[in-house]
Chains A and B, each alone.
Chain A
Amino acid sequence: MANIQELMNGWSYGAQHNISTVAPTAQIWRQTNLNTRPWAKVPVNEDDRAEIGKGHEFPTELFKSHYNMPTYEISKYCSSEMLAWALSFALGNTTVTGSTAPYTYVIVPALGATNPTGLELPYFSFVQQIRPGGSAILDEVLIGCAVRSVRISIKNSPGRASAMCTAECATTGQYTSPSTITLPTSVPLLHEFNAGMISALTINGINYLSGGSGKQFVSLDMSWDNNFRPGFFPGSGTQDGYQIQGRLEWGDRTFGFQMVVRVQYGSQEYTNLINLTTGTSTITFTRDAQNSFSVAIQQQGFQVAELGNTDGIVTLAVTGEQLYNPTNGLVTFTILTPQAGVCAVN
């Protein structure tokens, strides 16, 4: 028996060299997680129910089939380190600059035509342990994990929960147990943001920090989904006699954007929607000289604006529509963080 608080999570901030090679131990963070579940491994068996010749319709034998690994959510408060990690692994094209801390990560969606690994994103290793050692209740490293989706939520509440980042992760089914990995004894200090640190908030030409629309912003949800394709194929590999996935390729990727704003006289959102107005959208968090986060949605219009009520205040729920700009692409994330080596292959 073990209390779930004993569960220790760690994952590599550096990228694996390839899908089947575990990341170096030195690049594995120990991290906390607001998701209180372990990452389940789900081997699936099949039977001979459909085969005739047995004299009856009932199964008589079991066969190993495949690892049907569920996705797993890493849920964290927004920090410069976590955003750099989640977005680098989710979008696939990262440039890091700086010879000493802080480092600047510029991140954009990789293009299938030019990405060195085709439709595959960088892979990381995920460690989960409960009482590792001779009598471990759980001690394994999942190899070949990738970020399927990232969700960033900002809301008008106090504290760290006002800025959340959730990475939904997928994995192939390959693992090593016991992991033979010793997690660091402590969790690294993360430089977290909260909604009060937003220093720029302009959506499609509407500035929500100053001017007529200042103080009118309520909440925002932004997401990126890689919509992975199934990765089973001839030669994809096995684990314990079960077939595993040998690749996690992105499918039709989607960028989601929803925000809620208060309605007032002269609200610009309806006008922008009806006039098909598009423009850049910029959201920036600035914590200090070492930690900042900025997203530039290069060309965004409004798809839907729906009147509603949020805690007794009349609001508009606006869904953004991002257009691919021929020069600047879809979206650019820029993160300043003291953390080196995020998504680097070593």
Chain B
Amino acid sequence: MEQCWMRSPTGDVKQVNATPDVLGPLMAQGWHQAQGPAVAAALVMVLMQSPSGETQEVAPGSPAISQLMAQGWHEVPPQGSK
């Protein structure tokens, strides 16, 4: 049985069976999906490239992304990926 992590309205994180019968009532009471401990530890950075080719890693969601894009920067695939 597949399971997923859910956070209650009071902040408790609990692993539950991932079936609509279980999830639906929990979510209707205000529970939301939460990241499991292993997933929460990983943070993938966004790689940006300037018009002159310079690259810089930026945290996902950072306002710096929009500022760089306004200056012509592009997002590029992470180094080492195809």
Which residues of the partner chain B approach A96 to less than 8 Å between Cβ atoms? 33
Which residues from 75 to 108 on chain A have a C-beta closer than 8 Å to any C-beta of chain B? 93-98, 104, 106, 108
Q: A22 touching B24 by the CB < 8 A rule?
A: no
Which residues of A lie under 8 Å from residue B61 when comparing CB positions? 16-18, 21, 345
Interface string of B1-41 (1 = CB under 8 A from A): 01010100100000000101001110111111100000000
The chain B residue sitting closest to A94, CB to CB, is B33
B69 touches A95 (CB 8 A): no
- Docked Cα-Cα span, A187 to B44, in Å, equals 26
One digit per residue, 1 when the CB lies within 8 angstroms of any chain B CB and 0 when it does not, for chain A 303-333 equals 0000000000000000000000101111010
Q: Known contacts A113-B9, A114-B9, A328-B24; decide if A180 and B32 are in contact (CB<8 Å).
A: no
* Complex interface: chain A residues within 8 A of B29 (CB): 329
Q: Interface extent on B, as a size class?
A: 20 to 34
Across the interface, do B30 and A21 meet the contact criterion of CB distance under 8 Å? no
A95 (CB) vs chain B CBs: closest residue: B33
Distance, CA A180 to CA B32, complexed state (A) = 34
Residue of A nearest to B75 (CB): A25
In the complex, A42→B36 CA distance in Å?
Answer: 43
Q: Is the CB of B66 within 8 A of A176?
A: yes
Q: Complex formed: what's the CA distance from A94 to B69 in Å?
A: 30
Contact assessment for A21 and B66 in the assembled complex, using a CB-CB cutoff below 8 Å: yes
Contact A180 B30 (CB under 8 A): no
Complex Cα gap A36–B65 (Å):
31
Q: Chain A contacts of B65 at CB under 8 A?
A: 21-22
Say yes or no for A69: interface residue by CB 8 A criterion: no
User: Who on chain A is nearest to B32 by CB?
Assistant: A93
Residues of A224-242 at the interface with B, using a CB-CB cut-off of 8 Å, are none
Q: Give the chain B neighbours of A16 by CB distance below 8 A.
A: 61
> How large, as a class, is the contact surface on chain A?
35 or more
Q: A106 near B20 (CB under 8 angstroms)?
A: yes
Contact A180-B24, Cβ < 8 Å, known A17-B60, A94-B33, A113-B30 = no
**Nearest CB in chain A: distance from B31 CB, A:** 8
A180 is contacted by which of B9, B18, B72 (Cβ under 8 Å)?
Answer: B72
Chain B residues positioned under 8 Å from A334 (CB to CB): 20, 24
Per a CB cutoff under 8 Å, which of B4, B25, B30, B74 touches A328?
B25
Q: Most B CB atoms within 10 A — which of A104, A106, A298, A325?
A: A106
Q: Quick check: is A20 within 8 A (CB to CB) of the other chain?
A: yes
Whether A97 contacts B4 in the complex (CB less than 8 A), given A18-B61, A22-B69, A176-B69, comes out as yes
Chain B residues with CB under 8 Å of chain A are 2, 4, 6, 9, 18, 20, 23-25, 27-33, 44, 46, 60-63, 65-66, 69-70, 72-75, 77
19 examples of A-B residue contacts, CB within 8 angstroms: A20-B63, A25-B75, A95-B4, A95-B27, A95-B32, A95-B33, A98-B2, A106-B23, A106-B24, A108-B27, A115-B32, A143-B66, A325-B28, A328-B28, A329-B27, A332-B28, A334-B24, A345-B61, A346-B44
Question: CB within 8 Å of B: which residues of A?
Answer: 16-18, 20-22, 24-26, 93-98, 104, 106, 108, 111, 113-116, 143, 176, 180, 294, 296, 298, 325, 327-330, 332, 334, 345-346
Closest 10 CB pairs of A and B: A17-B61, A329-B28, A114-B30, A97-B18, A332-B24, A95-B33, A114-B9, A108-B27, A334-B20, A106-B23
